[in-house]
Chain A
Amino acid sequence: MGSEHIVSSFDNDLAELNHMVARLGGLAEQQFAAAVEALETRNTSNIDAIVEADKQLDKLEFELNERAIEVIARRSPMAKDLRRIIVALRVAGNLERIGDYAKNIAKRSRVIIEHEKSLGDNVSIARIAGLTQQMINQVLDAYATGDAELAMDVWDRDMDVDQLHTSIFREVLEQIGADSERVSAGSQLLFVAKNIERIGDYATGIAEQIYFVKHGEFPSQTRPKADDSSSSAIDQS
């Protein structure tokens, strides 16, 4: 894709940035999977490790920022090269945020597990998490290969995540309404669902960036949005 610069060390710089993004992506994906697994298996033993591992993400993002600034200063990139570097920075930022949400899910899972030892009926959480994990996986593939169409496919699927989030929101509110014992765990679960939905948004954001690298402009339709949990919160009150 980009091995044709006359100054070939510039290609190496770009490849290195891509590699760093890939590593960040792998880490974020891992963190998210581990957090979801902790919740689903009611197993708190990994949670400290997840919280600790988030520092690696922060560190890697920081390093990527420094590298990108060096490359900009030394190479004065133009056109698609410039877009690629700016996008590497933004994607790294999104991945770091995904990591933060994963860490937050892990922390909240600990509270939920303490209150509810049994698995309960959190099937929908597994579904929204699975969907979102797929999106991240696919968007990272799209990033690695510069495949804007694959990225747009992820972009389209954000709507499903939003819809699912809305229904989880209603579901959990109903459960809390029916059983006041569930207030603590249920409210944590609301946050977990919201975090997952935000992770989906960040994956969607990455998809837009991939499209931008390819086309020099952002996808023209308005972003898919099917999340009306904020209005359903009002309905319920």
Chain B
Amino acid sequence: MEKIVINPVTRIEGHAKITIHLNPDGRVSRTHFHVTQVRGFEKFTEGRPYYEMPAITARICGICPISHLLASVKACDEIMAVRVPPTAAKLRELLHCGQFIQSHALSFFHLSAPDLLLGMDSDPARRNVLGLLDKYPDIARDGIALRKFGQCVIQRLAKERVHPSWTVPGGVNAPLEPGAREEMLKELPGAKAIARRTLALFKSVVDEFQEEIENFGTDPTMYAGLVDHGGRLQLYDGRIRFMDSEGTVLSEVDTPASYADYIGEASLPDSYLKAPYYKPAGYAGGVYRVGPLARLNVADSCGTPEADHEFGEYHQRFGRVVQSSFQYHYARLIEALYAIEKAEMLLSDPSILGKHVRAKAGVNALEGVGIAEAPRGILIHHYRVDEKGAIQWANLIIATGHNNLAMNRSIEQVSRHFVDGSRLKEGMLNRVSAVVRAYDPCLSCSTHALGQTALRIQLIAADGTVTDELRT
């Protein structure tokens, strides 16, 4: 029996296992995507004061804590039934831009660029950010610089990079210093130049990936993402828009609290990751995707000049509704540019320096729902409290959850196309993990597990023996 173990290539955030089952003739019969580790936090939060939720939930994810913070404080705002001061809302959005920039930069340069630039079949030992640094030092340096810019935005606002406590229910806890604003505005053009360069680079290589584009989860699905009243891309606050695979808008969720009318949650066998679906279409037909690809599909425009230009070109090349999950990469880069432009707009608005940044109140409503886009897609925090403000129940729906069904399908599709059991090649399994990376799932937070874990792919022969295993 042949058994190859490829170990370790750490390029994914989270913990999951993919099993690929083969027919006796060595062809793929079916695939399974399981998320195996769970350390529930629901029990832990029961009875805690609601205003601790932002800090608690931000700790379930080290990669996009700010998205959790924002969804959580928005849910708390609702429990307090306050209107967040406009300056505070802008500052939160600015913080969110910083998060998108750093997260998208990480995803693209550290997790995906090695595959894209060094090649899917290149030496796995070098197919990482160090290999990239070796062969394309300028690109790798760009990646580091862009990520740093996003982190600096966060740091200047929140004074703390990883789990800022600056975002609080009712607003933020300190206004923006004029000096910090100046510094951000000074660094911004450099970041914008990187985003432009990277997009140009991506566009120059994208055509080399025809086979991947055609096989990386091209099954049409619905899409969901936040937009404003004008249909423009929104990251911090907006209405969830659902669109079908043809580009028809199916519905828009007016108030956060009514999300449950549109989103059902199914439990899957052998996986702790729940599978949300578009309720009106039912479980089988309601598969939708979220995240960069979905956001750029549902939005009519971005609302910032350069990103809109790229948005136009992107849709011209790949159609009004872009179906291939491979294009998550492309969409992510457009969004990075958008986030930089949006940050610039927010910083240029004089009211960003306003001093009134926090509304205070006690418990005025017993339920609160907060919805924001995380870099990987829609994030929903839903809490119920008693009159004293003690959490009675909490539900989080996370980007990777929304994508669960679609990701399962993509894995199956990629496996069928690239995996052939009679010949084992590293590049095949790498493509399977690459499709997972295209979705950029954040698995530790999807299962509310604490800490970092990894992806395992197993190839299982018809007689049940494991013939190959890859850990990333």
A and B held together in a complex? no
Report which B residues bind A (CB closer than 8 A): none
Report which A residues bind B (CB closer than 8 A): none
